[in-house]
Amino acid sequence: MRLDSAEAGRLEALVRHHQGSLRGYLTFLGCPRDWRDDLVQDTFLALLGARFELRADAATAGYLRTVARHLFLKRRERTSPGLSLDEQEPHEEAWTAFAAEDGGDGTAEALRECLALLDGRPAEVLRRHYGEGEALATIGGALGLEVASVKSVLLRTRARLRECIERRRAR
């Protein structure tokens, strides 16, 4: 399929505008890091193949999320059967609330600010678990904690972050 230069320019602008949000959405759904870029690319290829008519930004973003979600679930089904589409539907509502009017930029900025306020053990546990992907037992061993204690630190820290983000978003 050949695109004229105007169509190619519109597609390029669309990709630039939505690819970060799609990566974030796939992350939100639990998509493994090594699948994300491929799935984002496949989403835009599917859009191109469908000859989708551009609409309002929110409608286009919703369509792209739907395509990306289905591609992710199809891929996951091939690698680990048993996950249905119905199990993912609540994620769309949660993502829409997260993304709000700014595509999630405000929430992401609030999270960065709240993370900067963390220090000590909570910051270390968060960094090791989410940043480096360490298992709870590994973190516990390194910090002299039981696995249950590491889980408690994560639960309390996530609750603190959630409250901090909500306060900052309410401003």
Give the pTM. Answer: 0.55
From CA 48, how far away is CA 78, in angstroms rounded? Answer: 24
Structural class in CATH, domain 106-170: mainly alpha
Residues 6+ apart with CB under 8 A from 115: 123, 126, 161
Domain regions of the chain by residue span: 5-99, 106-170
pLDDT in tens, the chain (171 residues): 566 777 778 778 888 888 888 888 888 888 888 899 999 999 988 887 776 677 777 788 888 888 999 999 888 888 876 555 455 556 666 666 666 667 677 788 888 899 999 999 999 999 998 888 889 999 999 999 999 999 999 999 999 998 998 898 887
Residues 6+ apart with CB under 8 A from 123: 115
Distances in Å between the alpha carbon of 159 and those of 61, 107, 122, 153, 164?
29, 15, 11, 10, 9
